[in-house]
Chain A
Amino acid sequence: MVTDSAGQPLPISKLTGVTLPKIGKMHWRKSRQSQGETEKAEREDPGRNDEVGREICALLRHQAARRGQALPPGMQLFRVEIQYNDGKLKERKELLFAE
């Protein structure tokens, strides 16, 4: 999920043409590629997360600009996990990067 600095979700697909699943795949692939080895990719490096986050935000801003849109400063990238336990859905948000 991509939010503004206050944590409000941004309609990023409409603004950039890049969907959330694509952003998720991009983050996973960039993180994995930078670490070189698949095993290491299981343990995420916070420093590299920042680098990947900056790259993704730059790409999103570029795509938005091509569409004549502007993204707010201070964007945040969240990973959202959904779990189903005891008949209830739980959503857990983890901040990956904040500009």
Chain B
Amino acid sequence: MRNSDTPFKRLLAGFFSPPKVTPLEGFLLRAFFAVVVAYTFRFEVPFPTQAHPTGLAHLFDLTWLSNPASYSMFRGIIYFLLFLYAAGVLLPITLPLLALGHVLAFTLYNSQGYTHHGFQIVSLTLVAQAGTVLYDTFCRGVRLRPPDALLNSWLLWQSQVVVVGTYLISVFSKLINSRGLWLWNSSYIATDLIKSRRQLYYGSLDSNYAGDPVEAMWLLENPWSARALFGTGFILEAIAFLALANRKIAFVIGVALILMHRSIAGLMGLRFDNNEMLCAIYLVGLPFLAAWCLYRIGNPTVRLGVLIGIAIGIPLSYFAQPAAIQVAMPLPVYVGNLIESLDVWHNGRVTDFLRFTLPMWMTCVAMALAGAISARFLGPIIRKPRLQN
């Protein structure tokens, strides 16, 4: 691509070339996504029957997952696979197993007579990544070591396709179900806002949800403003695929989608944690930004020392927690609770989150410094690290 190309040509070219991904960004992409997948497994699937089977539940009895002992073992295996996935090893084996495990658990969840599509974006991303790795294996042979630059690029690109694709499907389903009248009828969505709010109140009797939201009432009284507001969200979903063109557009669209979900959460109380987190990872590019920061450390050995220090600091922070926490939960449960504390993304209880995670942040900083210093002085006798530019 030449600099003299028009912006349109440059935009178009972006759709035909996967983004360049450094090894460090590739690792952070996997690590962040592994945390999100682990976060989705915080729920049990306590359903001893599958009275309304969907998908694979037509073929297999999945109710063994409702047994607490079986599910505990199942979840343990998933966590181990996620660890391997984040490390980037054995991907042709770990990714298909992870995809299958995620689909199985949430198929049982969806076989109870009601559908919940909140986890599908995570399952689909795992399926897409598994497909990418298997295709790569088919074309270039088995590779059990961490992915190279090409595979890293394709893993990111395919994940982006899934994320923006879910929004495009949402646009089509809106248009099909409303026979093309969605935008015109969108003024009635305000009634849905009120319905959702009352459902939340009647289902929880939480006084925070009592009364009708003023915004919804205003939108009911101003249908053209409602159409303009909801139309903006509709158009954003329709153009989300432009995020595939380049990182800057992906960043803008990612931020806009997160803001859209936040506004829906504020108005209707509907959570889209998984969508928001995947937008933050694959569109906004948090791993890219974190990798960019880490590449400011010029010495690759010191950079590796910092990363190893942070990785060790997470479990080590258990011993920096107050005795009450150490008594209340063993180390594996503590790590699980650290992942579950991501719930702050939705509940906004930042003080509780910081109180629980502060020892982890402090330990990670201390260990990162220790790692950097060790690497600086022990660097010459350590093998050349792979996480470099």
Tell me how far the C-beta of B209 lies from the nearest C-beta in chain A, rounded to whole angstroms.
Answer: 11
Tell me how far the C-beta of A7 lies from the nearest C-beta in chain B, rounded to whole angstroms.
Answer: 12
Tell me, yes or no, whether B205 is within 8 Å of chain A by CB: yes
- Select B205's contact among A11, A26, A66, A82, beta carbons within 8 Å: A11
Supposing A66-B46, A87-B221, A89-B194 touch, asked if A26 and B203 sit within 8 A by C-beta, the answer is no
State in angstroms the CA–CA spacing of A29 and B111 once bound together.
Answer: 11
Across the interface, name the chain A residue whose C-beta is closest to B112: A26
Tell me, yes or no, whether A36 is within 8 Å of chain B by CB: no
Q: How many residues of B contact A (CB 8 A)?
A: 25
A25 touches B46 (CB 8 A): no
Q: Which residues of A contact B348 (CB under 8 A)?
A: none
B221 touches A80 (CB 8 A): no
Tell me how far the C-beta of B174 lies from the nearest C-beta in chain A, rounded to whole angstroms.
Answer: 18
Q: Which residues of A contact B200 (CB under 8 A)?
A: 13
- Select A82's contact among B46, B194, B221, beta carbons within 8 Å: B194
Tell me, yes or no, whether A14 is within 8 Å of chain B by CB: yes
Tell me, yes or no, whether B220 is within 8 Å of chain A by CB: yes
Q: Which residues of A contact B198 (CB under 8 A)?
A: 80, 82, 91
- Select B203's contact among A13, A25, A59, A83, beta carbons within 8 Å: A13
Q: Which residues of B contact A89 (CB under 8 A)?
A: 194, 212
State in angstroms the CA–CA spacing of A20 and B202 once bound together.
Answer: 8
Q: How many residues of A contact B (CB 8 A)?
A: 31
Q: Which residues of B contact A23 (CB under 8 A)?
A: 114
A26 touches B114 (CB 8 A): yes
A21 touches B199 (CB 8 A): yes
State in angstroms the CA–CA spacing of A69 and B353 once bound together.
Answer: 27
Q: Which residues of B contact A30 (CB under 8 A)?
A: 52, 113
State in angstroms the CA–CA spacing of A72 and B202 once bound together.
Answer: 16
Q: Which residues of B contact A25 (CB under 8 A)?
A: 113-115
Tell me, yes or no, whether B179 is within 8 Å of chain A by CB: no
Q: Which of B121-145 contact A (CB under 8 A)?
A: none
- Select A11's contact among B203, B212, B221, beta carbons within 8 Å: B203
- Interface SS majority for chain A: helix
State in angstroms the CA–CA spacing of A19 and B118 once bound together.
Answer: 14
Q: Which of A1-52 contact B (CB under 8 A)?
A: 1-2, 9, 11-14, 17, 19-26, 29-30, 33
A1 touches B202 (CB 8 A): yes
- Select B202's contact among A9, A22, A83, A87, beta carbons within 8 Å: A9
Q: Which residues of A contact B52 (CB under 8 A)?
A: 29-30, 33
Tell me how far the C-beta of B64 lies from the nearest C-beta in chain A, rounded to whole angstroms.
Answer: 16
B220 touches A84 (CB 8 A): yes
Across the interface, name the chain A residue whose C-beta is closest to B68: A66
Q: Which residues of B contact A9 (CB under 8 A)?
A: 202, 205
State in angstroms the CA–CA spacing of A59 and B114 once bound together.
Answer: 13
State in angstroms the CA–CA spacing of A89 and B219 once bound together.
Answer: 13
A29 touches B114 (CB 8 A): yes
State in angstroms the CA–CA spacing of A14 and B113 once bound together.
Answer: 20
State in angstroms the CA–CA spacing of A17 and B205 once bound together.
Answer: 14
A22 touches B199 (CB 8 A): no
Contact with A along B188-208 (1 / 0, CB 8 A): 001100111011101111100
Tell me, yes or no, whether B383 is within 8 Å of chain A by CB: no
Q: Which residues of B contact A80 (CB under 8 A)?
A: 198, 202
Which 10 A/B pairs are nearest by Cβ-Cβ distance?
A: A25-B114, A26-B113, A13-B203, A22-B114, A20-B203, A20-B199, A11-B205, A1-B202, A26-B114, A9-B202
28 pairs, A vs B, C-beta closer than 8 Å: A9-B202, A11-B203, A11-B204, A13-B204, A19-B199, A19-B203, A20-B202, A20-B203, A21-B196, A22-B112, A24-B114, A25-B113, A25-B114, A25-B115, A29-B52, A30-B113, A33-B52, A55-B51, A62-B48, A80-B198, A80-B202, A82-B191, A82-B195, A82-B198, A84-B190, A84-B191, A84-B220, A89-B212
